[in-house]
Structure 1
């Protein structure tokens, strides 16, 4: 049996991996069920009921406005010229309809949620996979009959990434199918051109890359610390101390575009192709009024940052594997 096959079997047969993937599937199923139950298809009866309610609200507003105008006019010297007069445009039927799932407009948010959940799972699975090997002594035993350190570690990483890629592709396909069904039953699949499907496919591809990045970083950190807890500790430290702490300090210091210093905005830029940040503390006078300064973070910029992090973490992990004492 080859080393790659053995490592793939070791990863897929771990109870932690199976239970964690099962937990992720349960969370995703709960999200899908919630979206299904909270959205409704706008049938002719639903549209008619919404229009009837809009008309009723309009008539009530007209009566109330007329009564207020008469009361105002009854007061000597009162100026009633600027009182609000209801119009039909103020009471549109669309505002009284239940939420409906528009696949083209809303699926991007669902794909981003899927990528975020799978990236978190990939980080934990990657860290646990190699961390458990170091902690249990399995890595040292493996190196007794495979004394090629870099080959062993890179094969483990390769097996992890291939498994993560397979799981992500399958779940992404199922996720897309589920929400296409929700759109057909509780919304609309309108305007889904070939270009729209291509955009969704590219977004899913970026989500796949994000999952692989998270898995590789988790793997690298756990390998560096030779324990799963090291990777988890770094993650918690980054979230609690660096993200929240830094965000608070930057906000107090009124730093421009403080969101650009925080990790989530880079993930959003990667998934949505770009994110535009605005600084409302700056006012550029123009014919349109006060225009704030803007900073646009694009997906190539986010990809460059993520690539640098992966190269740094995995590169250092490989270097320490080659040079540090194994015992």
Structure 2
């Protein structure tokens, strides 16, 4: 049996891997079930009901306005006049436009509008699993002494570590492709039964496919980073500890410090906004403490747009640095 086949078998047979994959499958099933039962297909009956409810609320508000107006006029010249605007001026009469029909429509799953959020959900969950499984896959080998035993009959250090990483990334690539295909088909059926897919065009399908490819890249990088950090520390806890520290320091600590210091575009220093920019193609951050004046638009806040190529560059840099460092330390450090 080749080294790659042995590592793939070791990865897929681990109880840790199976439990995490079962857990993420159950979570995704719960999300899909929730979307199915909380949405419904909109037809003429639902539209008519929403229109009737909007009209009822409009009539009710109009009647209340008329009562308030009459009470205000009757209170003029009495002690109760202070409870109303002076001279009953400024009282706002409701209009039919204030009660729009779409506000009374039941939730419905529009595939083109709502499915991108489901793609992001899938990518985030699989990336988390890839990170943890990747860290455990190599971290357990170091902490148990399995890495040293393996190197007795496969003394090529970089080849051993590289093969382990390749087995991990190929496994999660295949897993993500399968999950994405099933996820897309499942939500397409939900849209057919509980919403609409009529707005899907060839361009919309291409956009969904590209978004899923970016999700795949996120999963692969997360798995490689977890693997690399655990290899650097030679223990699973190294990867998890660094992650927890990064969340505490960079998300809560750094975010609070930047907000108190009034740093412009403070959100750009936080990790989640870059993940959103990667998945959604771009994120626009506005600084409401500044004014970008123009004769046409007046005073508008300064803005900074983070795009997916910018986020992709950061992902690529993290991948190269972490994996490169783990390979370098594997080659240069003693294996004990």
Q: Which category of TM-score, normalised to the shorter sequence, fits these structures?
A: over 0.9
Unmatched 5+ stretches in structure 2: 78-85
Q: For 2:157 and 2:292, how far apart are their aligned partners in 1? A: 58
In the TM superposition, 1:95-134 aligns within 5 A as 95-134=103-142
1:79 match: secondary structure:
helix
Tell me whether 1:146 sits opposite 2:145 in the alignment: no
- TM-superposition CA deviations, 1:105-155 (whole Å, max 9, x none): 111111111111111110001000000111111111110011000000001
- Asked if the contact 2:4–2:167 (Cα under 8 Å) also holds between the matched residues in 1, the reply is yes
- Normalization by structure 2: what TM-score? 0.95
Alpha-carbon shift at residue 288 of structure 1 (Å): 3.0
1:16 alignment partner in structure 2: 16
Alpha-carbon shift at residue 283 of structure 1 (Å): 1.6
1:74 match: secondary structure:
helix
Tell me whether 1:306 sits opposite 2:319 in the alignment: no
- Asked if the contact 2:143–2:234 (Cα under 8 Å) also holds between the matched residues in 1, the reply is yes
Alpha-carbon shift at residue 100 of structure 1 (Å): 0.7
1:27 alignment partner in structure 2: 27
Tell me whether 1:68 sits opposite 2:60 in the alignment: no
Q: For 1:66 and 1:290, how far apart are their aligned partners in 2? A: 39
Alpha-carbon shift at residue 45 of structure 1 (Å): 2.0
2:169 alignment partner in structure 1: 161
How many residues align? The count is 327
Q: For 2:293 and 2:283, how far apart are their aligned partners in 1? A: 23
1:296 match: secondary structure:
strand
1:224 match: secondary structure:
helix
Q: For 2:97 and 2:146, how far apart are their aligned partners in 1? A: 70
Alpha-carbon shift at residue 48 of structure 1 (Å): 1.8
1:315 alignment partner in structure 2: 324
Unmatched 5+ stretches in structure 1: none
Q: For 1:93 and 1:242, how far apart are their aligned partners in 2? A: 44
1:170 alignment partner in structure 2: 178
Alpha-carbon shift at residue 285 of structure 1 (Å): 3.1
- Normalization by structure 1: what TM-score? 0.97
Q: For 1:218 and 1:58, how far apart are their aligned partners in 2? A: 57
- TM-superposition CA deviations, 1:206-235 (whole Å, max 9, x none): 000000000000000000001001100001
Q: For 1:285 and 1:14, how far apart are their aligned partners in 2? A: 60
Q: For 1:251 and 1:289, how far apart are their aligned partners in 2? A: 26
Q: For 1:226 and 1:168, how far apart are their aligned partners in 2? A: 27
- Asked if the contact 2:40–2:194 (Cα under 8 Å) also holds between the matched residues in 1, the reply is yes
- Runs of 4+ in structure 1 deviating by more than 4 angstroms, as ranges, are none
Q: For 2:3 and 2:76, how far apart are their aligned partners in 1? A: 94
2:292 alignment partner in structure 1: 284
RMSD (Å), alpha carbons: 1.2
Q: For 1:131 and 1:221, how far apart are their aligned partners in 2? A: 9
Alpha-carbon shift at residue 203 of structure 1 (Å): 0.1
Q: For 1:302 and 1:191, how far apart are their aligned partners in 2? A: 29
